[in-house]
Amino acid sequence: MVKIALLKQGKQKNRVLSHIIFKLVFMVNFNNTEVAFKGKDEKDLKRSYWLFKIISWSWLIKIGPAMLKLFLPLKFPIPIIKSTIYKQFCGGETINECDETINELGKNNVKTILDYSVEGKESEADFDANVIETLSTIAKAKTTKLIPFSVFKVTGFARFALLEKINDKKELTSQEKEEFERVKARVDKMCSAAFEAGIPIFVDAEETWIQNTIDDLVLDMMRKYNHSKAIVFNTAQMYRWDRIDYLKQLKTIAEQENFFIGMKLVRGAYIEKERERAAAKGYKDPMQATKKDTDNDFNAALKFCVENINRISFCCGTHNEESTQYLIDLMQKHQIVLDDPRVYFAQLLGMSDHISMNLAKEGFNVTKYVPYGPVKDVIPYLIRRAEENTSIAGQTGRELSLILKEKERRELFPVVIK
């Protein structure tokens, strides 16, 4: 009896100790700039500081696209772009050029998602070339544990106007039907390759007026490839007021048909364009009324995914500290271990290192989106990054304040910096 009592007492102490350790591990300090900027030298910090300083000039960001269209044919801005904004937000022009970034991130326990960020192509030859390039990212991921996911945009494989016509439920011509069959074949080729490689693949969200078409394509791929675990992931933009309902409906379908859901949660990147189009065409604005509403739905989506973790694997794609902490608290509440493969955090390369690096230091699953591609072809992506930093309240100011804090820390502790 005494022995049994001692054993019970020992188990109780172990449970208490485990709870304390569990609680301590989940305390993440996002203000630790020493960790956030580890591996960044003075030159890197200065470049980042001046880049974000320039991005804070909203007037310049507004006229920037027009200036680029004017001067790009002359080619002289390319070297400037490559040494500044491109270097901040991109890994290189080719997959091999991204190796340095992949390895540097890996040293800090941060993994990479290679994102071929060439946009605006419209020919069948370009679409087929994008398939080959995206397949190369899956092949690359197979060779290293530092790349846990692949990713693609459906508009990399299809004409925007075709996707829009299908979204509007308009009758397709026989040629368009054949064209869409080629689109479906390209998407299936990606998902099949990801399935065979065991590398989950994200399908990025796009404008609302083509998103239903994308959602239907991804649902078909989930049905086909997500029977054992989540391989195909869709993306939900939570600045849309209808996405919580979408998640609930998708869960119902998955339970009825017995497949797993993969979901990347983001706030969204096309808000100005969405509002302008809705106003111009006279339909209901698909965007949330306020940023607070977006934040509430984003956190509600995190809660929904955590509460259904046995059905949903998900990636929390955010630069928001409050939502990041909220997910940490949810994981603690539901006793989900830090490195559970069903839960990932993700940020973009060149942004929010204070979140990425400090999460990774504590042992969470963290990835960075690492865009790559020829400089001139990646410019639309870079413009969006600049516009995003300008439009998100406090984003640029936060980046600047953290850089200044780290510069001050290094001046106080110069011996520590190698």
CA–CA separation, 373 and 140 (whole Å): 15
Is the pLDDT confidence value at 61 over 70? Answer: no
Say which CATH number the domain at 173 has.
Answer: 3.20.20.220
- Tell me, yes or no, whether 52 lies in a domain: no
Is the pLDDT confidence value at 391 over 70? Answer: no
Q: Work out whether strand 366-372 and strand 343-348 pair parallel, antiparallel, or are unpaired.
A: parallel
Is the pLDDT confidence value at 78 over 80? Answer: no
CA–CA separation, 295 and 239 (whole Å): 8
Please compute the mean of the pLDDT values over residues 279-300 and round it to a whole number: 97
- Tell me, yes or no, whether 72 lies in a domain: no
**Please, what is the angle between helix 160-167 and helix 174-197, to 10°?**
100
- Tell me, yes or no, whether 57 lies in a domain: no
pLDDT of residue 380: 76
CA–CA separation, 256 and 260 (whole Å): 11
* Distances in whole angstroms, Cα of residue 372 to Cα of each of 30, 117, 369: 27, 6, 10
pLDDT of residue 193: 98
The parent domain of residue 116 ranges over: 91-372
More confident position, 315 or 22? 315
Please compute the mean of the pLDDT values over residues 390-400 and round it to a whole number: 66
Q: Please, what is the average pLDDT of the chain?
A: 87
- Tell me, yes or no, whether 246 lies in a domain: yes
Please compute the mean of the pLDDT values over residues 250-264 and round it to a whole number: 98
CA–CA separation, 271 and 208 (whole Å): 10
Tell me the pLDDT band of 175, cut-offs 50, 70 and 90: very high
Q: Residue 365 gets which letter from DSSP?
A: -
| Domain count across the chain | 1
pLDDT of residue 18: 42
Tell me the pLDDT band of 8, cut-offs 50, 70 and 90: very low
- Tell me, yes or no, whether 327 lies in a domain: yes
% residues pLDDT > 70 (the chain): 84
% residues pLDDT > 90 (the chain): 65
Q: With 0-12 CB in 10 A as exposed, 13-18 as middle and 19+ as buried, what is 304?
A: middle
CA 211 to chain centre: 17
Is the pLDDT confidence value at 368 over 70? Answer: yes
* Distances in whole angstroms, Cα of residue 335 to Cα of each of 120, 225, 263, 298, 300: 44, 28, 20, 21, 18
- Give the least confident one: 190-199, 296-305, 308-317, 345-354: 345-354
Residue pointed to by tokens 């997500």: 226
Tell me the pLDDT band of 9, cut-offs 50, 70 and 90: very low
More confident position, 62 or 199? 199
- Tell me, yes or no, whether 199 lies in a domain: yes
Please compute the mean of the pLDDT values over residues 61-90 and round it to a whole number: 65
- Tell me, yes or no, whether 145 lies in a domain: yes
- Tell me, yes or no, whether 110 lies in a domain: yes
pLDDT of residue 1: 38
Tell me the pLDDT band of 84, cut-offs 50, 70 and 90: confident
Is the pLDDT confidence value at 7 over 80? Answer: no
